[in-house]
Structure 1
Amino acid sequence: MHYPWILFDADETLFHFDAYAGLRRMFAGFGVDFGEPEFHHYQALNQPLWVDYQNGHITAEQLQHRRFAGWAERLAVSTRELNSAFLAAMADICAPLPGARELIDALSGKAQLGIITNGFTELQQIRLERTGFRDAFSTLVISEQVGLAKPDPGIFEHALALMGRPPREQVLMVGDNPHSDILGGLNAGLHTCWLNPAGKAAPEGIRPHYQVSSLHELHKLLLA
């Protein structure tokens, strides 16, 4: 199959996102031994915040503040300082997923590539530079900058405007999250490919055009 435009999600689509390792590294800098119990408590707070963010109920700034508010009080530092340290730690440990580099190298020159992510600016730009991917993507759309998060149709419209408004059926959205990436892409009229390494069943009402278990499989599909 051939798509003139391919949009990728970032976290767990192109890059590993090991939040536990990043948090351990970050908190070590504040003299805290951050273990599994602390991580479970953090996730219990963080995950609902991300749902609220993706649904447009809170802003990126509110998410970043609320997830570290308790720790900021405990450590007598600002939530902004903690959030920045976390993103820096995540940038330090960033690594492309298996097959990502080969796929992007193979697609370069054959299709226009873009990233549309709900992640934060501070991490995305550093990560693209450190992995050598920055020049491969002509379009980089970050929810924090746009003020809208996937699956909101507005963030996809923003991306399409930056891309020069190509026909929507000529744009493939690739991502690991069936709600933000796949449903968001479908609602924007794009073709979609769900990266589903765990082989999960698609949520009711979400029907991606394609489904792959790895980036190697996507590579074969796109460049057969």
Structure 2
Amino acid sequence: MKYKVLLFDVDDTLFDFGISEKKALNKTFVDFGLPTGLVDYEDSYKEISRVLWEELEQGILTLSELGVERFRKLFLAHKLEINADIFNSTYLSYLGTEIHMVSGAVDLCNTLADCRLAIITNGFTDVQKSRIKGSPLCDIFEHTIISEEAGFQKPARGIFDYAFSKLQIADKASVLMIGDSVTSDIQGGINYGIDTCWFNPHCKENNIGIKPTYEIRELTEIIKIVGNSKKSLTT
């Protein structure tokens, strides 16, 4: 077996964050008296959020700042008089209850019983722990490494130092980082000197020069990778 330790990203790798985000946003807008808020503001919110998450990865702002700033910018752009702090808190409460698995995630993790499995994710501690605890994968992972607790976010080396310390890993060659984000998961793994697997179910183009060790369309392809000593599976 080539890889003994598998580090999984959470959102859009094991959990379908798109569904969770949409449902949590809709409930929050309804609570704040905007029943059509999701339809009216979702596109704007996603663009604002995308930019802020990129800034988080670059170390420009903190996670707590991101949480409020995304809604502050949204409400400012659309001239809505809503308290961004309270809205964000409500949204995160709902998000922690929205548990939607990516197809094949549960079967895959149950199949990888011979490997050590851990999570390494950027996100809010309470939200991520709540979703994992309420999922079919609640007892699967040896450790759950969350950026808010670690004090670093992917792709920073610090979060991988934290994970390797928690897991007491000495051999980087035995570790595979699996995730959907080229700039976060794959770049982070490359920076740390471990092999990476890019989960790319929607066939996104990669034109930024970050090359994963493997690229897959379905999670079940990981089973073959784990048991294969060659790197010829890269697509």
Alignment of 1:102 onto 2:91: no
TM-aligned CA deviation for residue 203 of structure 1: 3.2
TM-aligned CA deviation for residue 132 of structure 1: 3.2
Task: Answer yes or no: is the 8 Å Cα contact 2:3–2:227 preserved in 1.
Answer: no
Percent identity, aligned pairs only, is: 34
Match for residue 4 of structure 1?
A: 4
Alignment of 1:136 onto 2:151: no
Alignment of 1:20 onto 2:22: yes
Match of 1:38 among 38, 41, 47: 41
Match for residue 159 of structure 1?
A: 163
TM-aligned CA deviation for residue 87 of structure 1: 2.1
AA at the equivalent of 1:25: K
Task: Answer yes or no: is the 8 Å Cα contact 1:59–1:147 preserved in 2.
Answer: no
TM-score w.r.t. length of structure 2: 0.87
CA offset digits 1:26-45 (Å, max 9, x no partner)? 21122212133311221232
TM-score w.r.t. length of structure 1: 0.91
CA offset digits 1:118-163 (Å, max 9, x no partner)? 1211211111111032321112111112221111111111111111
* Number of aligned positions between the proteins: 222
Aligned pair in 2 of structure 1 residues 155, 203: CA closer, same or farther (>3 Å)?
farther
Cα RMSD, aligned residues only:
2.0
Match for residue 172 of structure 1?
A: 176
Task: Answer yes or no: is the 8 Å Cα contact 1:178–1:203 preserved in 2.
Answer: no
TM-aligned CA deviation for residue 75 of structure 1: 5.3
Match for residue 67 of structure 2?
A: 64
Match for residue 98 of structure 2?
A: 93
Task: Answer yes or no: is the 8 Å Cα contact 2:196–2:213 preserved in 1.
Answer: yes
Alignment of 1:183 onto 2:179: no
TM-aligned CA deviation for residue 48 of structure 1: 1.0
Unaligned runs of 5+ in 2: 229-235
Task: Answer yes or no: is the 8 Å Cα contact 1:17–1:90 preserved in 2.
Answer: no
Match of 2:50 among 20, 43, 47: 47
Unaligned runs of 5+ in 1: none
